[in-house]
């Protein structure tokens, strides 16, 4: 027999459904994801720390779960919301069903609710704090718990998802890359490795001297959860590394993705702000202002860089979201520094933007050539 579960939002909206996954109670900001596939990659994306994800596609779980599609060591979502969870799975790589996977990782899930109504509400009212519970079934009590739960604004969540000490992702490659881990996805590391990079992953709290001791050819700033305004220590470290290049050393090529893009925005005097309901899914259209080319992109972010706020006029916007005209990419006119707000590594999502990794490698190659 199915166990009852309730999803309650801070504004009083309540959905009654059934539990799948772990029993218990969880809170987080409720967002919706428009990807039709790739639920395992979404669950294991550390950028979802602090959030509960509602999948807009109605049937989730029909390909089960496997080891290869994980984007980190475990799921980081606070809760999972679907219309229907498939108990039966069919995929040659699958090792278990989605419900068992969530149970094993203590992730609370709810199914059987009207996910279209929830998505419509979040689009109109904006992302809301919420609670999923299988133990407290009093709607009024849960709404109050949602109101009292912490907001994403002002929260540093990367310390909960980053590696605790530096490690080598791989040990061979022409280009030595330091990847600052604010919640990095494995497919980013795979893409760098594929392009002849030897990648050392360091926690987001690593100092300028720790990073430079590796003698990197390039610096990668990863995706991650929470509010970029709460990360002055990371902004300061990146500023110091750029400043070293400005004082006699060869400038270090830098590539930022998602939170890494927002950090660079703040480094160059920009402001970041919270989007109404964020961009989460695999079908966001982005235009390259230089070429006019449109890429369909995978995205997962709740904050964005304010286009007109960049005080350093050497930093220019290169990509714009065609849905809401927010900033999706930047580059420095003089230094080998660029960033994108979206996820070129996909996993899940389209592969339109893989070329950004090639550009990063080209920058490191040019920097190497100039040194010799």
Q: SS3 for the chain, per residue?
A: CCCEEEEEECCCCEEEEEEEEECCEEEEEEEEECCCCCHHHHHCCHHHCCEEEEECCCEECCCCECCCCCCCCCCCCCEEEECEECCCCCCCCCCECHHHHHHHCCCEEEECCCHHHHHHHHHHHCCEEEEEECCCCCHHHHHHHHHHCCCCCCCCCHHHCCCCCCEECCCCCCEEEEEEECCCCHHHHHHHHHCCEEEEEEECCCCHHHHHCCCCCEEEECCCCCCHHHCHHHHHHHHHHHHHHHCCCCCCCEEEECHHHHHHHHHCCCCEEEEEEEEEEEEEEEEECCCCCEEEEEEEEEEEECHHHCCCCCEEEEEEECCCCCEEEEEECCCCEEEECCCCCCCCCCCCCCHHHHHHHHHHHHHHHHHC
CATH code for the domain of 230: 3.40.50.880
Same domain, 180 and 133: no
The C-alpha atoms of residue 142 and residue 8 are separated, in whole angstroms, by 6
Q: At which of 91, 126, 148 does a domain end?
A: 148
Same domain, 324 and 361: yes
Is 370's pLDDT higher than 70? no
149 pLDDT band, cuts 50/70/90, is very high
- The structural domain count of the chain equals 2
258 pLDDT band, cuts 50/70/90, is very high
249 pLDDT band, cuts 50/70/90, is low
Is 246's pLDDT higher than 90? no
pLDDT at 368: 74
233, part of any domain:
yes
265, part of any domain:
yes
298-309 tens-digit pLDDT: 999 999 999 899
pLDDT at 156: 97
228, part of any domain:
yes
As a whole number, mean pLDDT of residues 245-256 equals 78
153, part of any domain:
no
Same domain, 163 and 266: yes
Same domain, 37 and 68: yes
More confident residue, 243 or 340: 340
pLDDT at 250: 74
Bridge partners of 81, per DSSP, are 54, 110
Q: At which of 123, 148, 173 does a domain end?
A: 148
Same domain, 258 and 359: yes
Same domain, 199 and 144: no
Q: Which residues are catalytic?
A: 258, 343, 345
Is 58's pLDDT higher than 80? yes
pLDDT at 371: 58
Same domain, 224 and 299: yes
pLDDT at 307: 87
Q: Which domain holds residue 59?
A: 4-148
248 pLDDT band, cuts 50/70/90, is low
**pTM attached to this predicted model:** 0.96
Q: At which of 117, 148, 179 does a domain end?
A: 148
Same domain, 163 and 308: yes
- Mean residue pLDDT of the chain comes to 95
106, part of any domain:
yes
As a whole number, mean pLDDT of residues 36-64 equals 97
As a whole number, mean pLDDT of residues 39-55 equals 98
Same domain, 260 and 348: yes
Is 372's pLDDT higher than 60? no
As a whole number, mean pLDDT of residues 135-163 equals 97
The C-alpha atoms of residue 85 and residue 68 are separated, in whole angstroms, by 21
300-352 tens-digit pLDDT: 999 999 989 999 999 999 999 999 999 999 999 999 999 999 999 999 998 99
136 pLDDT band, cuts 50/70/90, is very high
CATH code for the domain of 141: 3.50.30.20
Same domain, 169 and 303: yes
171-182 tens-digit pLDDT: 999 999 999 999
As a whole number, mean pLDDT of residues 101-127 equals 98
């Amino acid at each position: 027999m199915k166990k009852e579960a309730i999803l309650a939002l801070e504004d009083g909206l309540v959905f009654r459904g059934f539990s799948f996954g772990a029993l218990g109670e969880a809170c987080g900001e409720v967002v919706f994801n428009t990807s039709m596939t790739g639920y395992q990659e979404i669950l294991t994306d550390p950028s979802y720390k602090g959030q509960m994800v509602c999948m807009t596609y109605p049937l989730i779980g029909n390909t089960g779960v496997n080891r290869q599609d994980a984007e980190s060591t475990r799921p980081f979502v606070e809760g999972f919301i679907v219309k229907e969870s498939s108990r039966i799975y069919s995929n040659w790589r699958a090792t278990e069903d989605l419900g068992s996977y969530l149970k094993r990782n203590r992730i609370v899930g709810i199914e059987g609710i009207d996910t279209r109504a929830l998505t419509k509400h979040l689009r109109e009212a904006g992302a809301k704090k919420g609670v999923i519970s299988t133990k407290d079934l009093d709607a009024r009590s849960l709404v109050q718990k949602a109101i009292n739960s912490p907001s994403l604004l002002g929260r540093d969540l990367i310390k909960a998802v980053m590696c605790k000490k530096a490690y080598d992702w791989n040990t061979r490659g022409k280009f030595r890359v330091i990847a600052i881990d604010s919640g990095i996805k494995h497919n980013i590391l795979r893409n760098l490795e594929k392009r002849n990079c030897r990648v050392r992953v360091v926690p987001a709290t690593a100092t300028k001297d720790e990073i430079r001791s590796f003698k990197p050819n390039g610096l990668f700033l990863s995706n991650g959860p929470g509010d970029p305004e709460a990360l002055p220590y990371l902004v300061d470290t990146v500023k110091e590394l750029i400043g070293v290049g400005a004082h006699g050393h060869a400038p270090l090529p830098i590539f930022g993705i998602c939170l890494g893009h927002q950090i660079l925005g703040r480094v160059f005097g920009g402001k970041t702000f919270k989007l109404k309901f964020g961009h989460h899914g695999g079908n966001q259209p982005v235009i390259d202002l230089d070429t006019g080319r449109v890429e369909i992109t995978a995205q997962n972010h709740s904050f964005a860089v304010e286009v007109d706020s960049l005080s350093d006029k050497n930093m220019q916007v290169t990509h714009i979201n065609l849905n809401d005209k927010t900033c999706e990419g930047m580059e420095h006119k003089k230094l080998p520094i660029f960033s994108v707000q979206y996820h070129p590594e996909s996993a899940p999502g389209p592969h339109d933007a893989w070329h950004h990794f090639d550009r990063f490698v080209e920058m490191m190659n040019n920097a190497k050539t100039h040194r010799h």
